[in-house]
Structure 1
Amino acid sequence: MTYHPKSDFMSVMIERGFMADCTDYQGLDEALSAGVVPGYIGFDATAKSLHVGSLIQIMMLRWLQKTGHKPITLMGGGTTKVGDPSFRADERPLLTPDQIDANIAGIKQVFAKYLEYEDTYEELSAAKAGRATPTTNKALMLNNAEWLDDLNYLEFLRDVGRHFSVNRMLSFESVKSRLDREQSLSFLEFNYMILQAYDFMELNRRYGCRLQMGGSDQWGNIVNGIDLTRRVIDQQVFGLTSPLMTTADGKKMGKSADGAVWLNADMRSPYEFWQFWRNTADADVGRFLKLYTELPVEECERLGALAGSEINEAKIVLADEVTTLCHGADAAAAAQATAREVFEHGGAGDDLPTLTLSADELGEGLSVVQAIVRSGLAKSGKDAKRLIAEGGARLDDAPLSDAGLVLTPADLASAVKLSAGKKRHALIRLKG
């Protein structure tokens, strides 16, 4: 990156590694230097929580606000009904309006931890006053169903569709890669990029939004929105993308051995969330500290350069900082305390993920294979048996070798700890 920005936001994006590309470095930098710039990122409501793969975008919005600008979180109440085909091998399952609303309610929970929102009638009214210059940098939470649900199809084709070239749409990598693999792309999905472009134009028209951000897989969609906004309402807007996040071993960010790493506490406990970051590969520590925490860049680089056993303390700092932002300082402290009890002192750890069974559920007993599956340490009975056969399972820190073992009510008179390898643990206890 050779561009030397004047604005604080662009400086942070470049210095901390958020920047993959920008449609106009100098133009955006000058706009950011001249006043408050509203910028948005869209989040489709495909699940009841976002996972850590979305955390880089959330941090970009947070830094936008911290440097004096106005973040807009756009919930895809409308676009989720279509589904983004970008770099997918198949079509997303279609959700009902009720499912989408429930997912949006779940997703909203996490944003209040990272952004300060406008919450008074006067603030919201001022934000909706059209193209007026924003008076505050408080965030807005919007839903694109507000303008997409009531579109007239013929008017939309005439007024918006005519600005899109099918030849150009087919050339975008997100579409081209799907067609090159001879995988079906439905007409429904093909419309998605037009709707996302329309979102940007409407946000500019309604709220003065001048910046769209997203992962680098959204580049084509963002450029479409910039072109449409210029053609239809003659406004200059900008696009900025972040790198697609992978771990040092090439895996996509957001997944772990036992599934997605959700941001909502009811879908992934703060302890498990903390543990995910504690298990970061050595090579990723410095980079993740810059992206996912607010520690000074120099400190991130110092911690990331540690070697040997010292890097483990840097990983604890990373886990503490990220968990504090997402779940609060108390949850981070409790997670670290639990981890130290489990790993350093062999304790059971009251904050570990817990499977609580009623006497009726337990009956005369629960097979240890089912206990491993139900506690989330394996995805299936086959995986649990393999874990036991390969010596990776432990019961109360003792090696577990008998896949036929049954846990009886007497065994569960006090909580027992199941372990999968050295780093993943769960408690099983009897209710009452």
Structure 2
Amino acid sequence: MGVYEQLKERGLIAQATDEEKIRNLLNNEKTTFYIGFDPTADSLHVGHFIPIMVASHLQRAGHRPIMLFGGGTGMVGDPSGKTDMRKMLTKEEIAHNISCFQKQMSHLIDFSDGKAIMANNADWLANLNYIDFIRDIGVCFSVNRMLAAECYKQRLERGLSFFEMNYMIMQSYDFLELFRRYGCRLELGGDDQWSNIIGGVELIRRKENAEAYGLTVSLLTNSEGKKMGKTEKGAVWLDPEKTSPFEFYQYWRNVGDADVVRCLKILTFVPMDQIAQFEKLEGQQLNEAKELLAFEVTRQIHGQQEAEKARDAARAIFSKGIDSENMPSTEISSEDLANGEVGILDLLVKTKLAPSKSEAKRLVQQGGIVVDGKKIDDIGATLQEKNFEKDGQKYVVIKKGKKVFLKVILK
């Protein structure tokens, strides 16, 4: 089975500009392809991970990925999927975010011996002469067609600035530049990038009289079509300082029954015949599949050791053994205690387990808070300093609901 069929079988491919030619290119030739990442934050998140997985599959098949960071396009911001204009980042913020992306990417893609390339589109976008650029490149784009594109159409009612309209042209120019520099013939992106990718394919045809192709990958959604990768705290990040390996593991361990098989297909390299064994299972029978999913994704992002720690801690919690060593933790100081004690409502707010006292009160009244294995049902309950003392350390373990555990350390 060729790599294109493998990607299809796993449900990773959404749209292709010319399926037969792309299939032949990927199955029978060696090619260079690229994926772009705009540095909108200081970490990649799980939404980025699907195109990275596709890149890994293709690299294993002998193709060369270019991981392109948007030092130039990040100055504008992609309007795709946004109801309002993105926050404009400074050059310093963009440079910092790219350095974080590069560090993370180096662990996810094999860059040894020229097997992959890291690039920054600021190298060719930052110093363009605007008049020359719109005469050479802008003339190739129809405003009517651009406004009909989904990425712009949904913004027209709220207001679309000319500033943002430049984004499609810039991304298309990236493809042309990478074609000229590296012979790049294929662009990958999320399914929301379809219009921008087509723009690059057509620009190469017009400027170079050459064929190039576009392939979009499936977005990370659940069985109801809703985007995955969000928690109460926000995005699920690949940076262990923003989402700990334990929290990361727990996110995947707790996916819905209807989503675990699909996630195994698109987010891991687990063989398809092994995944097929889980497709007819239901309920608790799927726990093995969920544990496999959580371990494999955590291993790929954080390494074998961190994955084993997260798995062992999760198993201990599940079996009521409560291994606090590797669970998420936060610190409070003795100054947070008044007369040597702290109210449970104050503690939940201080540790961000509840956004407000009213929400903390609701959690306690509904029986959703357990401290060191004891359910707290009194909103006036307090914890004294002695409650934190255990084995020469000072901490308590708070459980919120069925799945959220937090080690609160008293300093």
Both structures adopt the same fold (TM-score exceeding 0.5): yes
Q: Is the 8 A contact 2:3 2:27 kept in 1?
A: no
Deviation string 1:214-248 (CA, Å, 9 cap, x unpaired) is: 11110000000001111112221110011222112
Give deviations 1:166-215, integer Å, cap 9, x for gaps. Answer: 00001111211222xx1111111111111000111001111111110111
Identify unmatched segments of 5+ residues in structure 1: 1-5, 124-135
1:204 — aligned with what? 179
Distance 1:429 1:29, change over 3 A: same
1: CA distance between counterparts of 2:40 and 2:325? 32
In the aligned structure 2, how far is the partner of 1:383 from the partner of 1:161? 53
Distance 1:379 1:105 in 2: 32
The aligned residue for residue 257 of structure 2 is: 282
Paired position in structure 2 for 1:3: none
CA contact (8 A) 2:77 2:86 kept: yes
Q: Structure 1 vs Structure 2: percent identity of aligned residues?
A: 44
1:353 has 2:328 as partner: yes
| Aligned pairs, number | 406
| 1:297 maps onto 2:272 in alignment | yes
Deviation at 1:360, TM superposition (A): 4.3
1:44-55 to structure 2, matched below 5 A, reads 44-55=38-49
Per-residue deviation, 1:300: 1.1
Which residue of the other structure, out of 148, 168, 173, is the alignment partner of 2:150? 173
One-letter code aligned to 1:190: M
Which of 10, 19, 22 aligns to 2:4? It is 10
Q: CA deviation at 1:12?
A: 1.7
Which amino acid in structure 2 is aligned with residue 259 of structure 1? G
Gaps in structure 2 of 5+ consecutive residues: none
Partner of 1:157: 134
> One-letter code of the match for 2:396?
V
Aligned residue for 1:57?
A: 51
How far 1:363 moved relative to its partner? 6.2
The correspondence for 1:306, drawn from 272, 281, 284, is 281
Contact 1:377 1:425 in 2 (8 A): no
SS in 1 for 2:226: coil
Of 36, 40, 49, the match for 1:42: 36
* Separation in 2, partners of 1:285, 1:61: 22
Query: Residue 240 of structure 1 aligns to a residue in which SS?
Result: strand
Which residue pairs with 1:115 in the alignment? 109
Q: Distance in 1 between matches of 2:381 and 2:86?
A: 41
Letter aligned with residue 409 of structure 1? E
**Shift of residue 366 of structure 1?**
4.1
Call closer, same or farther: CA 1:367–1:76 in 2, change over 3 Å. farther
The answer to whether structure 1 residue 423 and structure 2 residue 399 are counterparts is: no
Q: Which amino acid aligns with 1:377?
A: L
Provide Cα deviations, 1:52-74, integer angstroms capped at 9, x if missing partner: 11111110111111111001111
> Match of 1:375?
351
Amino acid at match of 2:133: F
Tell me the equivalent position of 1:334: 309
For 1:223-234, list aligned pairs within 5 A: 223-234=198-209
Are the equivalent residues in 2 in contact too, given 1:287–1:304 (CA < 8 A)? no
The SS at the match of 1:300 is helix
1: CA distance, partners of 2:102 / 2:183: 23
Q: Which amino acid is the alignment partner of residue 385 of structure 1?
A: K
Cα RMSD, aligned residues only: 1.8
1:379 shift after superposition: 3.6
| 2:64 aligned partner, one-letter code | K
When residues 107 and 374 of structure 1 are mapped into structure 2, their CA distance, relative to the original with a 3 A threshold, is: farther
Q: Which amino acid aligns with 2:137?
A: V
Deviations 1:66-121 (A, max 9, x none): 11100111111111110100121111111111111111122223212221114xxx
Structure 2 counterpart SS, 1:178: coil
8 Å contact kept, 2:345–2:357 = yes
CA distance in 2, matches of 1:69, 1:233: 22
Name the CA distance, whole Å, in 1 between partners of 2:345 and 2:118. Answer: 44
Aligned counterparts of 1:105 and 1:388: Cα–Cα separation in 2: 43
1:393 corresponds in structure 2 to 369
> Contact 1:324–1:331 at 8 Å: present in 2 too?
yes
Q: Which amino acid aligns with 2:138?
A: G
Taking a change above 3 Å as real, the CA distance of residues 93 and 259 of structure 1, as seen in their structure-2 partners, is same
Letter in 1 for 2:127: D
Secondary structure in structure 1 of the residue aligned to 2:386? coil
Tell me the SS of whatever aligns to 1:355. Answer: strand
Cα pair 2:50 2:218 within 8 Å, conserved: no
Alpha-carbon distance in structure 2 between the residues aligned to 1:9 and 1:35: 11
TM-score (norm 1): 0.90
1:362, CA displacement in angstroms?
A: 4.8
What is the correspondence of 1:21-170 to structure 2 with a 5 Å cutoff? 21-118=15-112, 138-170=115-147
TM-score, length basis structure 2? 0.94
Q: Secondary structure at the match of 2:35?
A: strand
Q: Contact between 1:367 and 1:407, CA under 8 Å: does it hold in 2?
A: yes
Given that 1:109 and 1:264 are in contact with CA atoms closer than 8 Å, whether structure 2 keeps it comes out as: no
Matched residues in 1 for 2:351 and 2:323: separation? 15
- Alpha-carbon distance in 1 for matches of 2:212, 2:65: 15
Runs of 4+ in 1 over 6 A off after TM superposition: none
Report SS of the residue matched to 2:107. Answer: helix
Q: Does 1:411 align with 2:387?
A: yes
State the AA in 1 paired with 2:292: V
Q: Flag the 1:418–1:208 CA change in 2: closer, same or farther, 3 A.
A: same
